[in-house]
Every structure is written in structure tokens, then in C-alpha cells.
Amino acid sequence: MNLTAITTAPLNQQAVAASLDTAGIGAVSVFLGLVRDRNQGRRVLHLEYEAYEPLALRGLDLIVAEAREQWPAVRLAIHHRIGRMAIGDASVVIAAASPHRADAFAASRYAIERIKQIVPIWKREYFEGGDVWIEGATADPDNAGAREQALRIACA
Amino acid sequence: MRVTVRLFARLRDIAGAGELQRDLPAGASVHTVWRSMVSDFPELSAYESSISCAVNADYSRFTAAVADGDEIAFLPPVSGG
């Protein structure tokens, strides 16, 4: 299994975690992002995700490389699902393996913050009474300030 | 020269298509491509200051030159996760 993936298939957290080499590892942190039933006071019915797939995959690979630079002993796998998802479905799985827990938690938090900054994936929210494209950050992998902000959050 | 333009999310909705072809003069930049899109779909202009762009599936800049056969993508603010 690849360390990074963009897929329409339901995510399997155990398979993603099992794809990591665990030699010398003392901690594995698995983060799941789930489709929430409420957003900004609206009752959400379902979400539809789309991606610019080749660039989104490069973005995930870049995040893995950045994390390796910051935490050389951490191994990271990131799978993001696209397409239609129901409430409670996992849209993203991040597995971080490390000799010690602190770095596993930090790398996992860093990865989700960076996904929201630089990976070209968009969610369309279908709620009671309408639908709307959610727009977050202007993606710029060269923005050092954004990367520092993700690091600060990860290491808080 | 001819390039392929890719649009995503709300930008795709505004243009009514996710993939378009554009014929451009020699020396065109990514910004030339964007101006051509805004000229055809004026509602896109609201995104001028918040979009990112990519050339051949690699992040790029508005000032970058484009070549025949390139794929130019315009990306509204992202919302993955």
C-alpha cells in the first residue's frame, strides 16, 4: 500500500497504519477526519469532495517529506478520500509511527494542518436548504509563514 | 498555441465546465490565460486575489510563461481534510 493516496474507496484505517514500517517504533498515532453532521449552524446532509488528483498527491508527498525533515524518525502515511461521503464517513486517515509518542502526535497534527493549507481538495457541503463550496486557505506550498504556523500548532 | 485549462470546485460551476481549451498568442503567461477566462466568465474575477495556479500539475505563479500543450489549472481556496 502506498504511503499517500487519493481514493474514492472507503478508507481503511488499519490498513493505512499497517503500511508503516514499525521497526524501532514505540507509538502509532492514527487520526481520522470524519464528516460532521453540523457546520456553522447548518444541518449537514452529506459532503462531496473533489481533488486535482495529481497535484493533491504531490501535496501529500510534500507533507510526508516536510514531516521527515522535522521529525526524522517519524513515518507518516496519509490517505484522503474524495467523492460523495455520508455523515460519519472518514474523509482522511493519517497514521504516524515514531519511537516516542510526542513526535507521532506532533507529526499527525502537522499533517492535517498542512492538508488544509496546501492540498488541492475541496468539499461541497449539502445542507438542509442548499449547498455551498467550502473555501479555506489559498494554497501556496512556498508560503513559509503558513508552514511555521502548522509547526507551531503541531508542537503546542 | 493551444492550452488546456482546468477549473475546480466553484470555479468549475461558474464556467460550467472543468476542462476548456484556449488558443493564446506566443509569449502568453498564466495571467494571460486567467484574463481570457475572466473575459468569458466575469464572475471568476471575484477569485483574482484568492486563487492558486498550477502548470502541468505543479504549483506555479501568474507570471510563469505557458507553452503549447500545457495544462493550466486554477484552484480556489482549498478545503480538504
Sign of CA dihedral A92, A19, A4, A1: negative
A61: phi then psi, degrees, rounded to nearest 5: -60, -40
pLDDT (0 to 100) of residue A1: 80
At A136 the pLDDT is 96
> pLDDT, tens digit, for every residue of B31-50?
999 999 999 999 999 999 99
Q: Chain B contact for A116, CB < 8 A?
A: yes
Contacts A4 to B, Cβ<8 Å: none
CATH number at residue B65: 3.10.20.30
Contact A135/B59, CB-based, under 8 Å? no
**Contact assignment for A139 to B13 by CB distance below 8 Å:** no
User: What are the cell numbers at A109?
Assistant: 497534527
What is the domain count for chain B?
1
Report the C-alpha gap between B66 and A46 in whole angstroms.
Answer: 38
For residue A102, tell me if it sits in a domain.
yes
Q: Cell 513526535 identifies what position?
A: A103
Give the whole-angstrom CA distance, residue A25 versus residue A97.
6
Give a yes or no: residue A156 inside a domain: no
- B58–A55 C-beta distance less than 8 A: yes
One digit per residue, the tens of pLDDT, for chain A of length 156 reads 899 999 999 999 999 999 999 999 999 999 999 999 999 999 999 999 999 999 999 999 999 999 999 999 999 999 999 999 999 999 999 999 999 999 999 999 999 999 999 999 999 999 999 999 999 999 999 999 999 999 999 998
Helix ranges (DSSP H) in A27-92: 53-70
Say if the Cβ atoms of A56 and B80 lie within 8 Å: yes
**Model ipTM value:** 0.96
Q: Rounded to the nearest 5°, which phi and psi values hold at A75?
A: -115, 130
The domain containing residue A130 runs over which residues? 4-151
Instruction: Quote the minimal CA–CA distance from B77 to chain A in Å.
Output: 4
The 8-class DSSP code of residue B62 comes to T
Asked whether the beta carbons of A4 and A57 are under 8 A apart, the reply is yes
Closest-CA residue of B relative to A112 is B81
Residue A52 inside a domain? The answer is: yes
Domain with residue A113: its CATH number is: 3.90.1170.40
Total domains, chain A: 1
